[in-house]
Amino acid sequence: MKNELLSKSKFKQLLLKYYGIKIDKIEKISPSFSDCYILYGNNKYFAKVFSECCDNLKIEIENELLDILKKENFNVPNIIKTKDGNIYLTWENYYIFLEKYIDGYSCNEVELSENELLETARLLGKMHKVLNNKYDDVNKEKYWKDLNIDDEKKKLNNLLESLNNYSKENNELIIKTIKHKIRMLPKLKKMSETFEDITYLMTHGDYSKRNLLKDEFDNFYIIDFSFAGVYPAALELIRSFFISTDACHNGNLFNYDLFFKYVCAYLEEFPLSIKELRLMPYLFLYQILTSNYRYQEYFETKDIKYLNFIKWKENMSCFLEKNASKISKLFLTHIEKEFKKC
């Protein structure tokens, strides 16, 4: 397992000691950005193993969201607590998070039909309806108003400098993406000033088909709330469409008509203002270009999956720069005529 410090035999010992569960076989799920496992014993289980850098508050938020959604009859994972009643186990540098295994297939392994895709949009709308106003103390402005151009530029320049400590492979692409981020900082700062008076809520944070399972009865299960946090509802809506349709990935195009239908399906369950709908592409562009997620992992490992992720983000940001206005106007052009049909 991770750095071979947590061996399979040690993992089995920990599960028996702290959960009272005897495990016969451990299978790592691959490919995955995180360490996820299927465990086989008298029953099947799903486990996530985090390193010491794990934010235990994130795990507690994930547990709270799961409890809220379960009470509203959403299909979500069931966390298995330790014998002491803890929602996760800490051992040395590791956090172990155990759930009941969900029999089904990952929606990320298939191309969803249009009807299935629209159903996932409605499910997102239903989830936002339940979670809206559940957390009264959420900081709805911090993320967007804390953009300091000088600080961000320094972080990005530090990333460029750190490249010298690693292999030169693919550095040209990495340098290009980082310099793109630096050039965009003044525009992003100005853009963020428009992100007021919109719906913020504590939500999944990574909702898309890759975090959906479907069982034998065609029921959707929402899984992996690891990125749960406070986000604009409109951001999670547009982001989920891009990822669920692989838009801008491997030459895939953005389907404007399908996106409009997707948004309409969502709005059947949870309303957003015209301003929020028009801000969607700008919210997503802002998030992509202010995030340096997976750069350091790529520097250290040169793993192609991290490089592909960085490439995809760059493709999406370039597309949004060129077409954000077109996407935004989609909801102005059709707002009176078409939204009545939604």
What pLDDT, on a 0 to 100 scale, did the predictor assign at position 300?
Answer: 85
Domain with CATH 3.30.200.20 in the chain: 2-101
pLDDT beyond 80 at 6 = no
DSSP 134: S
DSSP 163-205: GGGS--TTHHHHHHHHHHHHHHHHHHHHHHTT--SS-EEEE-S
How much of the chain, in percent, has pLDDT values that exceed 70?
A: 89
Write the class of the CATH domain 2-101.
alpha beta
d(CA 91, CA 113) in angstroms, rounded, equals 43
DSSP, collapsed to helix, strand or coil, labels residue 63 as helix
Domain with CATH 3.90.1200.10 in the chain: 107-341
d(CA 3, CA 24) in angstroms, rounded, equals 22
34-38, 69-73, 83-87, 148-152: range with lowest mean pLDDT: 34-38
**Tens of pLDDT along 129-175?**
999 978 766 555 555 667 899 999 999 999 999 888 887 778 889 99
Band (1; pLDDT cuts 50, 70, 90):
very low
pLDDT beyond 50 at 2: no
Mean pLDDT for 68-81 is 96
pLDDT of res. 277: 95
pLDDT band at 56 (very low <50, low <70, confident <90, very high): low
Q: What is the mean pLDDT of the chain?
A: 88
Q: Tell me what pLDDT residue 333 has.
A: 61
pLDDT greater than 70 at residue 55 = no
Task: Give, to the nearest 10 degrees, the angle between helix 56-71 and helix 114-131.
Answer: 100
- Quote the pTM value: 0.91
Query: Which residues are paired to 185 by β-bridges?
Result: none
Please check whether the domain covering 107-341 is classified as CATH 3.90.1200.10.
yes
What's the confidence (pLDDT) of residue 140? 57
- The structure tokens listed for 175 are 């340098």
Closest CA to 315 of 254, 234, 226: 254
Position 86 pLDDT exceeds 90: yes
Q: Tell me, what DSSP letter sits at residue 162?
A: H
292: burial class by Cβ within 10 Å (0-12, 13-18, 19+)? middle
The 10 Å CB-count burial string (b at 16+, else e) for 174-183 is beebbeebbe
> Residue 269 — pLDDT band, cuts 50, 70, 90?
very high
> For residue 19, what pLDDT is reported?
97
